[in-house]
Amino acid sequence: MKGRTSTTATIRAVDLFCGVGGLTHGLFRGGVEVVAGYDLDPTCKYAFEANNKARFIEKDVGELTASEIVDRLGDDAVTLVAGCAPCQPFSTYSRTGRAESSSADWGLVASFGRLVQDIQPDLVTMENVPALQNHPVFTEFIQALEGYAVAYRVVQCATIGVPQTRKRLVLVASKLGTVAPSLDWRDEGKVTVQQAIASLPVLRAGEGSQDDPLHLACRLSDINLRRIRASRPGGTWRDWPTDLRAPCHRKVTGDTFPAVYGRMEWEEPAPTMTTQCFGYGNGRFGHPEQDRAITLREAAILQTFPDDYRFVNKGERVKFSQLGKLIGNAVPVRLGEKIAQTFRAHVDEVLCQPI
């Protein structure tokens, strides 16, 4: 940034791997101006642009050049490059049957580091799964931040106001001073499932709200309807009569998955939202009271998207698998807001002087 003389410096950012805008929306709410989001998936464009004053650019981050980003950031603000490279190679939900060393997706973290080295923004943040910090690609990313003051930690999102037990690795870095932005966040207390979604209209399995296309519940087969009726909040399939148990539950390996076909608890945060969070049989995604899985809108709210965040254009058909992937992969909005507030406090302390 050139000519830093104002008492409140603008922070201007681009969001790499932006998805439907969870991180971008949080950054906006925390006082950061995001000018563009980059993602290879064109299905993200509507939600990103409909809810954020930023342009969606469909492009592989691995093919991005520094000059494209520098031109958007300009030179009249504190600059921030933010992003969350796809985390599937490190996710405990996606390791079955694949060797970690063979995943080409690791290269996206390296591309992120390359862009930071070439752009040299004032600030950098990356959010990802905790397992990333144990991999050499993370060490290489830290090395790409030479000249930056760096801090990182694993954050339990339930402690910062996200109604979900989601652990994320958060990294922040700054060239503005010798001390990194502080990630010593105070525990804000848990937000429960009941506080988050209890006010939404009651639905049966297969029903949807006339007022909100995303408040739509998947259908349940007859046996799954019987299973959810036999389930209690916080319980497991072990609570069912034997005749309702699936063949995998009768094997020793079935003991490894007690939360499959589970109901959430009203007085606790939700489990981690995944790309399959709309399906009753995919985890503890049963509604605490109603005999159905959570809806896409409920999943989005548990990801701390505003309850009016638009994911589909008017009249567009809702596709569970597509939107479940976009919502489950999103950065919780509240986490993005906390990161923005951290940078805002850091920049104000380092750059802004009283009049």
Q: Residues 254-294: pLDDT tens digits? A: 455 666 789 999 999 999 999 999 999 899 999 999 999 99
Cα 55 to Cα 21, 22, 44, 58, 330: the distances in Å are 11, 14, 11, 10, 18
Task: Spell out the SS3 assignment of 220-269.
Answer: CCHHHHHHHHCCCECCCHHHCCHHHCCHHHHCHHHHHCCCCCCECCCCCC
Tokens of 334: 């509240």
pLDDT at 169 over 60: yes
Tokens of 13: 């950012």
Question: Average pLDDT, stretch 18-35?
Answer: 98
Q: What is the DSSP letter of 274?
A: -
* Rounded-to-5 percentages of helix, strand, coil across the chain: 35, 15, 50
113-159 pLDDT, tens digit per residue, is 999 999 999 999 999 999 999 999 999 999 999 999 999 999 999 99
**Residue 92: per-residue pLDDT:** 47
Average pLDDT, the chain: 90
Residue owning tokens 């492009």 = 59
**Fold observed for domain 11-190+331-351:** Rossmann fold (3.40.50)
Between 252 and 66, where is the model more confident?
Answer: 66
Nearest Cα residue to 275 out of 218, 213, 328: 328
Tokens of 310: 């638009």
Between 89 and 203, where is the model more confident?
Answer: 203
Question: Average pLDDT, stretch 72-94?
Answer: 79
In this predicted structure, which of 54-63, 79-88, 182-191 has the lowest mean pLDDT? 79-88
Using pLDDT thresholds of 50, 70 and 90, give the confidence band for residue 99. very low
Q: Among the options 87, 157, 218, 277, which is catalytic?
A: 87
Question: Other CB atoms closer than 10 Å to residue 253's CB: what's the count?
Answer: 9
Q: In the annotation, is 87 catalytic?
A: yes
Q: Where are the domains of the chain?
A: 11-190+331-351
| Cβ(299)–Cβ(217) below 8 Å | no
Between 29 and 90, where is the model more confident?
Answer: 29
**Residue 245: per-residue pLDDT:** 84
